[in-house]
Structure 1
Amino acid sequence: MFQISTGPAQLWEVDYRNANDVSLNGQPFTWDIADLGSGQYHVLHEGRSFTAEVVSVDYATKNIVLKVNGLRVELNAKDRFDLLLERLGMSNAVSAKVNELKAPMPGLIVDIRVTPGQAVQKGDPLLVLEAMKMENILKAPADGTVGSLKVALRDNVQKGQVLVQFS
């Protein structure tokens, strides 16, 4: 079960087992959905046709941005664990301040896109880490200010090594 919102006034309880077994606010939700590939879908619901495109998904915050018939829709999902934390008054614990960025895997630093003292917003690119012949853009996990860089260009790093310290 998920609680989906598009703002403070729009809230739905969604139980999704699979595409053919969905309920919305306790009522069966009937639809036909066709995956067109590349994050594009065609949906039929109550005799109406919709085109939907997945613009972005942030799995950490459970934020989803869709385009439905060309209109941008931002969704926020809360699962049963998020709701439990909220009921216990611990929902702010999830958004604790991030003090550092660590290497998710061993690799080579091939680009540094920030400098100490620079303000960054969540999702801003910080570094490019090459691992297994692929370049991975490491992004800011939260809004903040770069305190110091713990690596230099062309440094080899290990998984879990601190790369950027935030102030």
Structure 2
Amino acid sequence: MSEITLRVNGETHALDVDPSTPLLYVLRNDLGVRGPRFGCGLGQCGTCTVLMDGRAIRSCMRPVSRADGEITTLEGLSADGSLDPVQQAWIEEQVPQCGYCQNGQMLTAKALLDRNPNPSDDEIRQGMNGVLCRCMTYYRIQSAVRRAAASMAGGEVER
């Protein structure tokens, strides 16, 4: 066991954990964060996605000892009781069916829009490619990303 310091959703946490423990397990089991979920355990499905310094990473594959940046989970996207434009767009476009992948979808969309605030449909599909949705709501996801981009730019979503 080692003392590891994590900065998650703006708060600093000192934890006594095995440095090889996946970040996902520390977030869920030690910090009680429920946004990132266990899916495949191989970093291929995306349900465990978190942002580290604004980049989407797979927390199931990242040892907690290598989580050395600011970690943002789905819970950390909201500020002062206001939803992030990505979260609001997900609601307005009624994206989730089962909801299992939505953590990974929204955080991947947030990272995409922070890098590219006005992505084309092809760029959205490419940028969102790594998060699997068993319910096949990909067209709603694409619409939600467009809506969030428009909201962030202060405009209206194009249909």
Give the TM interval when normalised to the shorter protein. Answer: under 0.3
Q: Which TM-score applies when normalising by structure 1?
A: 0.24
Q: Which has the higher strand share?
A: 1
Max Rg structure: 1
Higher relative contact order (CA 8 A, sep 6+): 2
Write 1 or 2 for the structure with the bigger share of helix.
2
